[in-house]
Structure 1
Amino acid sequence: MVAMRSIGIRILVAAAIAVMAPSGVPGNATAAQMATLGGGSGILLDGRAACTLTTVGYDTADRVVGLTAGHCADIGATVQAETQQIGVIGTVVAVGRNNDFAVIEFDRTKVTPVRQVAQTFIGGLGAPPRPGDIVCKNGRTSGFDCGVVWDTHDWWFRSQLCSKPGDSGAPVTLGDRLVGMNIGHVRVTLLDVPIVDSACGEAAVHDPAVAIEIGVIVGEMDRSGGVGAGFRPL
């Protein structure tokens, strides 16, 4: 559960982390192996918590940097590719608790960054979406789906996307622009409405997904001056 700043309405954030059994930990890496990763790839934190990579790119020091949700891991957590038997390929080097994001520094000898994972292509960073826009998400658990933006706020927005355990960190895109990071879902008592949510396989009440605006995350990284400052996607 992640502590959110006061936003004037009562919300409950459901942290979407999938805990993996020890048998899911990849084996040792070899010099010839490279993990291919991009926004939407599944990653393991400390070999057990499964979350989704938001995007991968470079910072001002030309380090290979990735992002995921901050509630997925603490500083120093090891990072592995969920479906590629490579071993440890990176480390969580910073966590922004207020905006719920984590910065990963990847070993550039073990990671091949890509712009596209399944249907998600990230061509760059975009401005915050507006109510009524159709955004899409690619999570390691629920996969790719799209939905309408319900409302926007200073640093986050809510949409009718599917968010399940493990989807934390998933990229939220508008066209080919990365506009947000999925962090889970909320239940707002007065606004819950009964609608069929085929993407999540539910037919009761849909809990709208919440995403942090990518510009807010990049801005915080820039102000820190550490790993991730000056982040640019591929």
Structure 2
Amino acid sequence: MVAMGKLGIRVLVAAAIAVFAPSGLPGNATAAQMAIMGGGSGIVLDGRAVCTLTTVGYDHADRMVGLTAGHCAELGMPVQSDTQQAGVIGTVAVVDHDNDFAVIEFDRTKVTPVRQVAQTLINGIGVPPRPGDIVCKNGRTSGFDCGVVWDAPGWWFQSQLCSRPGDSGGPVTLGDRLVGMNVGHIGVVVLGVTVVDAACGTAVVHDPAVAIEIGVILGEIDRSGGVGAGFRPL
């Protein structure tokens, strides 16, 4: 668990990271191999942690960049697709652990960026969701699902979405607009012990997932002025 900087609550992020078996790691790419990547694609960081890409776009310097959860990454980590045989396709260029996001700079010769992955279509950046809105997420482990927003007190919101190991960093959308980044869920406390939400994906009501508003993340990146600043979606 981590106590997220502005969040003021303890979020069970450890349950949102999956460990990737090295034996399954994609091999070296040939000149013809390209990884198709977009919001909801699975990624492998440093050959061991599996998380989900929030979105892909370009920054003020026309670099191809992507976003994921900060607790998945450390600066300089190589990034690969979790399913496509394209080798190393990018590098972690920015990590903000306080606000729990990371920026990946992609190799444009290795990546074909897309707006749609499975049912998730991202056609732009949306305004923060409000309680009662129906948002959807896409994670490399639990896939696509939708749920109602319960609470949106400020720079984050919680909703009735499923979050399992490997889903961290996944996009949260309202319609076809990106509104948040999935970072985990608030742990259920039983007899003083925080446990993983076993009901996730199997029950109508389960422990709400926590997401950071995408506008807050992009604002922090812009203030840094580095890789990812001036982000524009595809």
Whether these two folds match at TM > 0.5 is: yes
1:52 aligns with 2:56: no
Aligned residues: 227
Residue by residue over 1:16-63, the C-alpha shift from the partner in whole angstroms, topping out at 9 and shown as x without a partner, is 100011112100011111100000000000111100000000001000
Over the matched positions of the two proteins, sequence identity in percent amounts to: 77
- Equivalence for 2:219: 219
Unpaired segments ≥5 residues, structure 2: 190-197
Unpaired segments ≥5 residues, structure 1: 190-195
CA distance in 2, matches of 1:102, 1:127: 21
SS of alignment partner, residue 2 of structure 2: coil
1:98 CA drift (Å)? 1.8
Residue by residue over 1:134-185, the C-alpha shift from the partner in whole angstroms, topping out at 9 and shown as x without a partner, is 0000000000000000000221000000000000000000000000000000
CA distance in 2, matches of 1:88, 1:77: 10
- Equivalence for 1:13: 12
The code of the aligned residue for 1:157 comes to F
CA distance in 2, matches of 1:11, 1:49: 21
SS of alignment partner, residue 158 of structure 1: strand
Residue by residue over 1:88-139, the C-alpha shift from the partner in whole angstroms, topping out at 9 and shown as x without a partner, is 0000010111210000000000000000000000000011000000000000
- Equivalence for 1:67: 67
CA distance in 2, matches of 1:225, 1:142: 34
The code of the aligned residue for 2:172 comes to V
1:7 CA drift (Å)? 4.6
- Structure 1 residues 12 and 65: CA distance shift in structure 2, 3 A: closer
- Equivalence for 2:80: 80
Q: TM-score if structure 2 supplies the norm length?
A: 0.92
The code of the aligned residue for 1:213 comes to E
CA distance in 2, matches of 1:157, 1:7: 10
The code of the aligned residue for 2:109 comes to T
SS of alignment partner, residue 125 of structure 1: coil
Note the aligned Cα RMSD (angstroms). 2.0
- Equivalence for 2:24: 24
Superposed structure 1 runs of 4+ greater than 3 Å apart:
none
